[in-house]
Amino acid sequence: MSAIFVASGANGEPWWIALIKALIVINLVLFGFAYLTLAERKVMGRMQVRYGPNRVGPFGLLQPIADLVKLIRKEAFAPASANDVLYIMGPFLAAFTAMTTFSVIPWGPGWEIGGYQVNGYVADLPIALILVFAVGSLGVYGFIIGGWASDSKFALLGSMRTCAQLVSYEVSLALSVLGVVIMAKSLSLVDIVGAQDADVWYVIPQIVGFVVFILAGTAETARAPFDLPEAEQELVAGYHTEYGGMRFGLYSMSEYINLITLSGLAVTLFLGGWHGPVVPGPVWFLIKLAAILFMFIWIRTTLPRLRYDQLMRFGWKVLLPVATVNAVVTALLVVAL
Amino acid sequence: MTIVPAEKIYEGTRIPARCPTILDVDPAEHDLDDILTVNFGPNHPSTHGVLRLIVQLDGEHVAGIEAVIGYLHTGFEKTMEAKTYWKGITYPERIDYLSFQANELVFVLAIEKLLGLSTPEKATWMRMCLSELNRIHSHLVWLGTSALEMGAISMFWYAFRERDMVLDLFEMVTGVRMHTRYFQVGGLAEDIPEGFYAQAREFARHMPRAVNDYEGLLDRNKIWLERTKGIGLLSAADALALGQSGPMLRASGVDWDLRKAMPYLAYDEVDFDVPVYPNGDVYDRYKVHMDEMRASARIVGQCITRLEEMRGQPWIADDRKVVLPPREELHTSMESLIHHFKIVTEGYLVPEGQVYVAVESARGECGCYLVSDGGPKPWRVKFRAPSFAALQTLATCLRDTAVADLIAVAASLDPVMGDVDR
């Protein structure tokens, strides 16, 4: 906690502005989640020769609100044999960790408003990237606890799969960004964005890292074609089979927010962050974010699902070596030049 | 029946038990903690309809399986014994509700065989045309749902887009989108509407292109190939031992198609290929279905060409004891009124005897065994359901597979639970 204040204070920003900004950003992320679900359904609908939601409000724009009201009003039942405390804690843990990570992603250059310094990020940590992965790993517990505490076979199988998948792919994910860290010589996301503005977008020298990052990220957020944890044709709904109402909503929310955060990371690490000509920084950030999210939705519509052993083989035998070689080669080149 | 040899398939038989739908776990092994019994169905997002699978899982590996059927038993065959022949025609369609036209056809053909009634040429060709359209419809539903089970969600909508075109054609001809009751004893219920020819021809032209599109999405997709190739193996010998027919048999390398082997309707007058693939895996079953859709579209095109030459010809036999008289005659002809009254109330009498007729439905040999005691109602009706036979192979195909393959394999058998349970 103190690290956050020190970090923001060091940039001349009063602590209460950071607090207000955190509130705004967290609400924007939640808003983004709600409309990402709508956008996903719309885009998928168009790709699948249908319209997608268009009944609630103009162009279906109120659909996420209606979904939210529906989920909140539903009875929050729990299986009789569930472990109550853990059962309730699961979704909260998942949602909390998902929302935390977005705080370190920079989305603008910073402004001077009414004599006060306002930074284009909630927190700038010297170890921001490590924080992202650390908190992300904590989030896995939400899925495991939830699946295990429901005392259901489908949920247990689902959470076993989630556990194995997330742990395997986290390794490749972390290794894939190592090249970026070596090139920028910093773990702070703000510095990484700055380095890309001075140099080139890292997607060009780090194209291998970028591809590995997107693939491992897809698995990390359990999106198709790596959506095994909740492969509904096999495991009903995976680890959240026994969840209903807003508890399920929290799980769903954490998944989508993880996706947004991951896309934000991809933008920050590889696509130059908020930098871009003509329009202001946050707009560029949003444009790039939307492009990455659109790609994720596109992948989901097109590809069939992998099998569990194929997924594991791909993670350990393809992604991990590629990511490792990429990091080593980058390090060698940086030292040599 | 020629058997195309496969390049790589297991040696010997793999049928697990005398009851081929049960794959048992070794009891000693079962006592260990790591065997998990999971109930798939009867309500589960993966099963087509209400199939219940009791699966013993060893991690992600399927160690044992037992199929429980009967949830959709409706007693169609028994009900038909209480209905006159011409009322009974509505029932077979609902047995295999996806391949409805073939079931309707086989029942009508069985009655006609007992009656010794011959049908006009136009009816024969139209029956063939609709049967092939129906085969395309059934295969499209299969393709859409199977791809969906493996996570290729968009295929479902693409397949259903073309399926809708078939249903539009059915609606135009019969007034009903599914379960048409268009085939009558003696021919067709009504004449073919004029707009049908052009639209059906357009569809026959469109369909092969659509199949190319599906293959473009799936055939060069590495994930799809990995998920389907070498999965759910069934050798030709096992397929024959388990009574397979249709796409199941042809995907196991046996060249057997009733349309070629014992031609009915006018199948000996049309030109089409029967696809045969040797490996007996999910991929080959998928390929057989795809090629059959192309072949069916070709047959539809040929049928339309012939039907267009038959404009103005009768569409139903002129036998007043069996066939309803034209509506307009009822007001002028006493005889017609009496015939109409007799057929609608008592029904027509079918000579005593028994007959078995089989046609190639979308799933394989769809047979109807009909016994008549000389009255207006069948004494016994029995359908030979290809889905029931296909479900028998489940345990054989599922030896040494993962739980994700269980879904892919079950889908590839193309079981329609209405057909299995009847």
Residue of chain B minimizing CA distance to A225 = B151
The first and second tokens of residue B311, run together, are 């404009």
User: Considering chain A, what is the average pLDDT of its residues?
Assistant: 82
Nearest CB to A305 within list B151, B156, B158: B151
Look at residue B370 in the predicted model and tell me its pLDDT. 92
The 8-class DSSP code of residue A229 comes to G
Tell me how far apart the alpha carbons of residues B164 and A226 are, in angstroms, rounded to a whole number.
Answer: 31
> Between vectors from CA B193 to CA B188 and to CA B197, what angle results, nearest 5°?
105
Pairing of strands A116-118, A111-113: antiparallel
> Do A5 and A22 form a contact (C-beta atoms < 8 A)?
no
Q: What is the pLDDT along chain B (422 residues), one digit of tens a residue?
A: 777 776 667 777 777 777 777 777 777 666 666 788 888 878 776 666 788 888 888 877 888 888 888 888 888 999 999 999 988 899 998 998 889 999 999 999 999 999 998 899 999 999 999 999 999 999 999 999 888 888 888 888 999 999 999 999 999 999 888 888 899 898 898 889 989 999 999 999 999 999 999 998 888 888 888 888 888 888 888 888 888 888 999 999 888 899 988 888 889 899 998 999 988 889 999 999 999 999 999 999 999 999 999 888 888 888 888 888 888 888 898 999 999 998 888 888 899 999 999 999 999 899 999 999 988 999 999 999 899 988 888 888 888 788 778 888 888 888 888 888 88
Pairing of strands B254-255, B353-361: unpaired
Interface test with A, best of B33, B54, B146, B149 (most A CBs within 10 A): B149
- Measured in Å, how far apart are chain B's first and last C-alpha atoms? 29
Tell me how far apart the alpha carbons of residues A173 and B385 are, in angstroms, rounded to a whole number.
Answer: 51
The first and second tokens of residue A199, run together, are 């140099």
Query: Can you tell me the ipTM of this complex?
Result: 0.81
Nearest CB to A233 within list B38, B149, B157: B149
B151 and A47: CB-CB below 8 Å? no
The 8-class DSSP code of residue A335 comes to H
Determine the longest span between alpha carbons in chain A, in angstroms. 64
A304 and B223: CB-CB below 8 Å? yes
At residue B357, the 3 state secondary structure works out as: strand
Give pTM, 2 decimals.
Answer: 0.88
Chain A residues closer than 8 Å to B45 by CB: 232-233, 236
Convert the pLDDT of each residue in A51-107 to its tens digit.
Answer: 888 888 888 888 888 988 988 888 877 777 777 788 888 888 888 888 888 888 888
Mean pLDDT on A259-267: 89
Tell me how far apart the alpha carbons of residues A240 and A85 are, in angstroms, rounded to a whole number.
Answer: 16
Torsion over CA: A164, A170, A175, A179 (sign): positive
Region class of B278: left (phi > 0), else alpha (psi between -120 and 50), else beta:
alpha
Interface test with B, best of A226, A297, A305 (most B CBs within 10 A): A305
Q: Is the pLDDT confidence value at A326 over 70?
A: yes
Tell me how far apart the alpha carbons of residues A160 and A148 are, in angstroms, rounded to a whole number.
Answer: 9
Closest-CA distance, A234 to chain B, in angstroms, reads 6
The first and second tokens of residue B40, run together, are 């798939």
The first and second tokens of residue A5, run together, are 């204040």
Q: How far is CA A9 from CA A2, A17, A118, in A?
A: 10, 10, 11
